[in-house]
Amino acid sequence: MRILVVGDIIGRPGRRAVWDLVPGLRRELQLDLVIANAENAAGGKGLTPDTADELLQSGVDVLTSGNHIWAQKEIIPYLDGTLPIIRPLNYSPYVPGRGCFWCRGVLVVNLAGRTFMGDADCPFRAVDRLLGELEKKPPVIIVDFHAEATSEKNALGHYLDGRVSAVLGTHTHVGTVDARILPRGTAFVTDIGMVGPADSVIGVDAEEVVRSFLTQMPHRLSVGKGPAFFNSVFIEIEQREGKAISIARVDRKTE
């Protein structure tokens, strides 16, 4: 099985890059599934029904999210519907949405970190419960771990090594160079990166961010402009056992 997992999509520049590049990558890499983190797709924070539909029409199969999933209120009624959108599994069971989604025989799971991230249940115990409750554990399980601390991401990768096919970090918008197969067959990368303006500070207008750091005054921050980075990872998985065969970064830059 050949799967592409795309980093945090930032606003209109990120959506445009997905629209421009994903169809070609589907053909070039002969992809069976495309997963993308979309929690910053609408104006740099949150997701709307229209932006979700745009990404799904561009060739993405499943949209994951994170701590900004509630930022655009109009998406909330859709989280319990049929759209392939998930929020972190380890959020309260009383909030809308679901933490995992089946697509083409693959179970996609979303988790949120706790270090520097605010309140959430333990992601380690939450995924343990999920795996224990499955009547029949599917061979291929992909985990998007939306977390800040590199240590927390690495720890979860080792914790789930051999039990899921991939643990892939999102949230920091800065891609890391440690993509590898862990000893028991789980693909891992600390952070996939982002799909957003290249000349920016993690997707945000650079001048506005610099001014904020210099003055320590509150400023309105907007999505940057211009050509975009497209960060993703391509994973090949042995479908019967669910073990990762390879993981490689797929990074592009739009014109």
Whether 171 is catalytic is no
Catalytic residue selected from 68, 146, 171, 173: 68
194 contacts 229 by C-beta, under 8 angstroms = yes
Cα(161)–Cα(50) distance, integer angstroms: 36
Cα(228)–Cα(150) distance, integer angstroms: 24
Beta bridge partners of 109: 100, 143
Q: DSSP per residue over 143-177, as a string? A: EEEE-S-HHHHHHHHHHHBTTBSEEEEESS----S
* 3-state percent breakdown (helix, strand, coil) of the chain, nearest 5: 25, 30, 45
240 contacts 175 by C-beta, under 8 angstroms = no
Q: Using CA atoms in the order 66, 238, 161, 234, what is the torsion angle rounded to 10 degrees?
A: -40
User: So which residues are the catalytic ones?
Assistant: 68
